[in-house]
């Protein structure tokens, strides 16, 4: 109960405040778009840039740890893809639903909850996972979607479409720039670093408040079986496989926590954005984000009990 009150509830209270503010008309729905544009397009990319630029790549980037997380993520994608197809959805719908089981809310929910649960120092492994999260998920999701949409057509343009989709994403750009600074040893001027810190301090609180406003738009509609499958893939299957593979590989306690807690997050808002880009399964993705976020209040608590 202490973990629930001290770690999880403060994060969800901020989300709830954003939801309530938009619901009661205290914060304009149009203002939510601007807030999320700032956090997703500027503040969070700055946070990821700074974190990747300063991370010790040799110490934090563990191949077994990344395998543990991304084997779970890929399993969630495959489960959602073929599960939706078995329930009669089109291939395009099925890819978008699979993406919901693939892309966990690793930043907006994962970072603040991990920080409150295990401290700021433990986040170095979360950042290592997040560094390849958006690139990996978009690479897999966009590739499979474009292959499905191009059934029977030449695939020559596929690499260009995948690269274009990835590098129009601000998170990917921030991560890529962070790697460039890290690998070249390029120093960040103090005045630039101080300016980045100002923006970074606003990133997560503003994003959580904006997430609440975004969630108000989503109505829990659609096939209950699909929504249940999305929740099962993201809240149960992904962290369970991550937990099992982490134990198999003998990961450290901090690495195990980073893998499982990041994997246990609800589907991220990017899953709805992905569905919207392709104009498919939008209602299912939106409902998966809304209901998955609500259910994760309990499931994250249970995973915190399981973790050492």
Report, as an integer, the average pLDDT of 146-158: 73
C-beta of residue 245 within 8 angstroms of C-beta of residue 94: no
Return d(Cα 46, Cα 182) in angstroms, integer. 14
Mean pLDDT, residues 128-157: 83
pLDDT value, residue 273: 81
Taking domain 2-306, whether its CATH number is 3.40.50.2000 is answered by no
Position 153 pLDDT exceeds 70: no
Residues 176-218: tens digit of each pLDDT: 899 899 989 989 999 999 999 999 999 889 988 988 888 887 7
Contact 33, 213 (CB under 8 A): no
Q: Which of 79, 134, 85 is nearest to 101 (CA)?
A: 79
What is the rounded average pLDDT of the residues 232-261?
A: 96
Task: For CA atoms 269, 275, 279, 283, give the dihedral sign.
Answer: negative
pTM for the whole thing? 0.85
Task: Pull the structure tokens for residue 287.
Answer: 């409902």
Distance set, CA 190 to CA 174, 187, 196, 263 (Å): 19, 9, 10, 35
Q: Looking at the DSSP assignment, which residues form a beta bridge with residue 104?
A: 267
Q: Could you read off the pLDDT of 99-125 as tens digits, one per residue?
A: 999 999 998 889 999 998 888 888 899
pLDDT value, residue 155: 65
- Note the pLDDT tens digit of each residue in 157-171: 677 777 777 777 788
Domain spans, the chain: 2-306
Reading the block at residue 125, the tokens are: 């492994």
- pLDDT at 2 (0 to 100): 62
């Amino acid at each position: 109960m202490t973990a629930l009150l001290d770690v999880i509830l403060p994060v969800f209270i901020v989300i709830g405040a954003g939801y309530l503010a938009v619901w009661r008309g205290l914060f304009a729905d149009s203002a939510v778009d601007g807030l999320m544009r700032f956090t997703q397009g500027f503040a969070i990319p700055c946070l990821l840039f700074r974190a990747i630029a300063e991370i010790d790549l040799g110490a934090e980037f563990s191949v077994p740890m990344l395998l543990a997380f991304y084997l779970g993520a890929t399993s969630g994608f495959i489960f959602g893809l073929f599960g939706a197809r078995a329930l009669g959805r089109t291939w395009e719908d099925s890819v978008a639903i699979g993406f919901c089981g693939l892309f966990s809310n690793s930043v907006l929910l994962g970072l603040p909850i991990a920080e409150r649960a295990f401290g700021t120092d433990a986040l170095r492994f979360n950042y290592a996972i997040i560094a390849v999260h958006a690139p990996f998920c978009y690479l897999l999701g966009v590739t499979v979607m474009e292959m499905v949409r191009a059934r029977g057509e030449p695939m020559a343009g596929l690499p260009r479409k995948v690269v274009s989709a990835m590098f129009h994403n601000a998170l990917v750009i921030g991560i890529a720039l962070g790697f460039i600074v890290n690998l070249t040893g390029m120093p960040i001027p103090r005045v630039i670093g101080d300016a980045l810190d100002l923006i970074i301090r606003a990133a997560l609180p503003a994003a959580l408040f904006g997430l609440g406003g975004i969630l108000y738009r989503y109505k829990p509609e659609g096939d209950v079986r699909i929504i249940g499958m999305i929740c099962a893939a993201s809240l149960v299957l992904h962290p369970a496989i991550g937990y099992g593979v982490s134990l198999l590989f003998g990961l450290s306690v901090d690495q195990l926590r980073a893998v499982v807690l990041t994997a246990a997050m609800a589907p991220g808002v990017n899953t709805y954005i992905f569905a919207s880009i392709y104009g498919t399964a939008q209602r299912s993705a939106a409902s998966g984000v809304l209901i998955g976020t609500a259910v994760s209040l309990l499931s994250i608590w249970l995973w915190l009990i399981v973790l050492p």
